[in-house]
Amino acid sequence: MTDDRRAAERLLRSQLDRLWVRQTLRSSLIESRGGLDPTARVILRAVAGHGPVRATAIADATGLSRPVISRRVASLIEAEHLIGSPDPADGRATLVTLAPSGRRLLDELDAAGAEVFDDLTEEFASDELRSLAEMLTRLNDRADAVLGIGTTRS
C-alpha cells in the first residue's frame, strides 16, 4: 500500500468518525425527546420498506442478529408501533407490519431529518450529492459483503 493510499484512508476514517459522532449525538437527542433509539428506527424503516415481513428477513436486511431483532420487534409490537400477525404460509411464524403510530414516528423523524439534512447539504450541487451517495452506496455494499450482511445469520 502506498503512502498516498494510507493517508487517504486515514483521512476517510477520520471523517467517518466525525460523522459517526454527530449521528450518535443526533440519535441521543432524538431519544431524549421521546423518540426511537437507532435500532428501533432501523427496524421500523426495514418493515416500512419491505411490507409484511418475518423477523428473520429484518435481520437479514439490517445485519442485526436474530435475537436482537426478536426482542426489539416484540417491544415495538408492545408499544403498538408494529403489528404482528400469523404468517398464512406458516402459522408458527409472525408477519410484522408497520402500525399507524410507527408510520407517524417515521414521518416525524423524516421531516426533522430532512430539515437538518437540507441545512447540511445546501452548499452541495445536485451532482456532488449524487456522487457522494454513489460512493457511500459502494462503501456500504462492500461493508455488507465483508461483514456478511444480507445473508442468513443466526
Residues 9 and 59 in one domain: no
What SS3 string covers 23-82? Answer: HHHHHHHHHHCCCCCHHHHHHHHHHHHHCCEEHHHHHHHHCCCHHHHHHHHHHHHHCCCE
Residues 43 and 17 in one domain: no
Model confidence at 31, pLDDT cuts 50, 70, 90, reads low
Residues 67 and 134 in one domain: yes
Q: What is the pTM of this model?
A: 0.70
Residues 69 and 84 in one domain: yes
Examine residue 142 and state whether it is found in any structural domain, yes or no: yes
Q: What is the pLDDT of residue 153?
A: 40
Structural domain harbouring 131: 36-147
Residues 95 and 57 in one domain: yes
Residues 43 and 73 in one domain: yes
Helix (H, G, I), strand (E, B) or coil at 126: helix
Residues 29 and 50 in one domain: no
Look over the chain and give the mean of its residue pLDDT values, rounded to a whole number. Answer: 87
Mean pLDDT for 64-92 is 92
Mean pLDDT for 73-84 is 95
Model confidence at 4, pLDDT cuts 50, 70, 90, reads very high
In the chain, the number of structural domains is 2
Residues 111 and 61 in one domain: yes
Q: What is the pLDDT of residue 131?
A: 96
Examine residue 154 and state whether it is found in any structural domain, yes or no: no
Residues 43 and 115 in one domain: yes
Residues 9 and 47 in one domain: no
For the chain, what percent of residues have pLDDT higher than 90? 51
